[in-house]
């Protein structure tokens, strides 16, 4: 069970001091190997169904909001879609072997809800069940543990059409029915479940700024959205996600956990935020930025309610938990999944004119978060415009979770960086990814220091991603993979230099 709020919530001044200490806590790193991590520490790679599987019309799969969104003109940077993606639906055996060759312990993948229930509810699609049974069995045959995400953004389109999906409390019963089928059919072999991937991301990107499916937003963003309300919908979505997770957790614990011996968590997207200065207002702003990101979801799961800064700043637009709902949500996860890529500066927003008009979940925090201080970047940039390489943020974030939430078990469920998909660069040169090797080395070094020197309770690390894949609104323009996928030659997989680095790392104990 989660610790009580009275024990774990750090007084305001103490938290401010901690923010400054963590800002400067960095790793003086020796070289690392698998042996640098505790015995039983899990190394794996991560993926999602929509980004990897393709085969969108195969074997009875139903359409999703991302099929609709990716086929809408102007929504995807390179005008692509994920109809084929990297065709892992048909090539999973080949990809499992690639993981085995590297020495990976685990594979985190998601199940496509619309492969199990093409319309979100109704009759089970046995062809979808068969596919995931084959994938799970193929992984276990190679000694690779499956970590399964039930929802990685691909809501069945039928449920959005019927009642706007996550905007309706009806979603809880439909998702719970889907989740229970997964527990029944796969839980004898799957021991690690994640209900959701990055609820903060799809609440903001899908229902605040409208840059991801289902593309809802309002007011100043109306040029890109047909409908929505940025001031309320992100909070409604987040609230329904939390209640849905808690309902599913309750079902799992009462009916399946004892027999199947599994555990259940959520994967959260978490930037680390460093105060732009040592001014009190900027230290407080960094804390608010974290409250409106990780705290939005993890505070209710640990303490039973949203952070006090959200309650005071959002007011009546933030839904309330009943007493019974709060009790259901609190303590409803067994471990915390963290998708961490980058660190930004945070400062107090003194001139929030746009926020006054919008009252949306981004402006409500009263912070400005940027990867720049003046003209100086916080770190080297990867390909993505948002991804700056700041390895010290990993250690600071792990310590923050330890101190604020009572050191729960944590898995780094995603970490990685991308290169551009530049057709002017030869495949031979694209395989030389020294920058990626340094990224993983440095982030892993800081993660290792947080465990062995700081006592953070981290249990595993998943690379995003095994393969180059379809990266949502960025399409195929971004390459995160350890393996290069040749989109012009039958999606052949080629190992980048980082594959050799990870192979050596995973097979070295000293």
Separation between Cα atoms, residue 165 and residue 156, nearest integer Å? 8
The half-sphere exposure of 268 on its side-chain side, counting CA atoms within 13 A, is 27
SS3 content of the chain, % helix, strand, coil (to 5): 45, 15, 35
Q: What sign for the dihedral angle of Cα 395, 396, 397, 401? A: positive
CA distance 502 to 498: 6
Q: Token pair 């709902």 is at which residue? A: 325
Tokens of 492: 């052949």
Q: Which one from 274, 276, 284, 414 is the annotated catalytic residue?
A: 414
Q: Cα separation of 258 and 266, whole Å?
A: 20
In terms of DSSP H, where are the helices of 256-295? 257-260, 280-290
414 is catalytic: yes
Element (H, E) at 367: strand 367-370
Q: Which helix (H) or strand (E) holds 106?
A: strand 106-110
Neighbours of 385 (CB within 10 A): 9
| Closest C-alpha among 381, 364, 363 to residue 372 | 381
Element of type H or E holding 248? helix 233-255
Polymer length in residues for the chain: 510
The residue annotated as part of the active site, out of 145, 198, 276, 471, is 198
Q: Which residues are annotated as catalytic?
A: 198, 414
């Amino acid at each position: 069970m989660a610790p009580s709020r009275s024990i774990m919530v750090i007084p305001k001044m103490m938290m401010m001091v901690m923010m400054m200490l963590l800002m400067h806590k960095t790793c003086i790193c020796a070289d690392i190997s698998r042996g640098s991590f505790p015995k039983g520490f899990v190394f794996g790679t991560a993926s999602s169904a929509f980004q990897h599987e393709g085969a969108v019309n195969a074997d009875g799969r139903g359409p999703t909001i991302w099929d609709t969104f990716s086929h809408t003109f102007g929504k995807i940077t390179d005008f692509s879609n994920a109809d084929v993606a990297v065709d892992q639906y048909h090539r999973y055996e080949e990809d499992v072997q690639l993981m085995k060759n590297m020495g990976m312990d685990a594979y985190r993948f998601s199940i496509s809800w619309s492969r199990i229930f093409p319309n979100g509810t109704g009759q089970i699609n046995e062809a979808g069940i068969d596919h995931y049974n084959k994938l799970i069995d193929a992984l276990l045959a190679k000694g690779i543990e499956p970590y399964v995400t039930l929802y990685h953004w691909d809501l069945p389109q039928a449920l959005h059409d019927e009642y706007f999906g996550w905007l309706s409390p009806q979603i809880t019963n439909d998702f719970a029915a889907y989740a229970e089928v997964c527990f029944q059919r796969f839980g004898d072999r799957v021991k690690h479940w994640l209900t959701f991937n990055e609820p903060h991301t799809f609440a903001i990107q899908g229902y605040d700024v409208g840059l991801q499916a289902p593309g809802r937003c309002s007011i100043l963003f109306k040029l890109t959205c047909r409908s929505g309300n940025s001031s309320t919908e992100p909070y409604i979505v987040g609230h329904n996600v939390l209640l849905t997770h808690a309902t599913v957790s309750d079902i799992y614990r009462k009916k399946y956990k004892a027999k199947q011996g599994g555990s259940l968590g959520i994967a959260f997207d978490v930037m680390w935020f460093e105060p732009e200065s040592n001014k009190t207002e900027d230290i407080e702003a960094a804390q608010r930025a974290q409250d409106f990101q990780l705290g939005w979801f993890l505070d209710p799961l640990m303490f039973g309610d949203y952070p006090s800064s959200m309650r005071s700043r959002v007011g009546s637009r933030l839904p309330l938990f009943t007493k019974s709902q709060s009790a259901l949500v609190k303590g409803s996860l067994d471990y915390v999944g963290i998708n961490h890529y980058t660190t930004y500066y945070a400062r107090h927003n003194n001139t929030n004119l746009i926020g006054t008009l919008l009252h949306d979940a981004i402006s409500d925090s009263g912070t400005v978060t940027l990867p720049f201080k003046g003209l100086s970047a916080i770190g080297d940039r990867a390909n993505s415009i948002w991804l700056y390489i700041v390895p010290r943020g990993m250690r600071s974030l792990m310590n923050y979770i330890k101190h604020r939430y009572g050191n729960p078990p944590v898995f780094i469920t995603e970490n990685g960086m991308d290169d551009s998909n530049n057709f002017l660069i030869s495949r031979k040169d694209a395989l030389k990814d020294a920058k990626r090797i340094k990224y993983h080395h440095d982030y892993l070094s800081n993660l290792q220091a947080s465990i062995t020197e700081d006592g953070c309770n981290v249990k595993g690390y998943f690379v995003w991603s095994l393969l180059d894949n379809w990266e949502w609104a960025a399409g195929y323009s971004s390459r995160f993979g350890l393996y290069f996928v040749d989109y012009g030659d039958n999606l052949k997989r080629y190992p980048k230099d980082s594959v050799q680095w990870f192979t050596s790392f995973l097979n070295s104990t000293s």
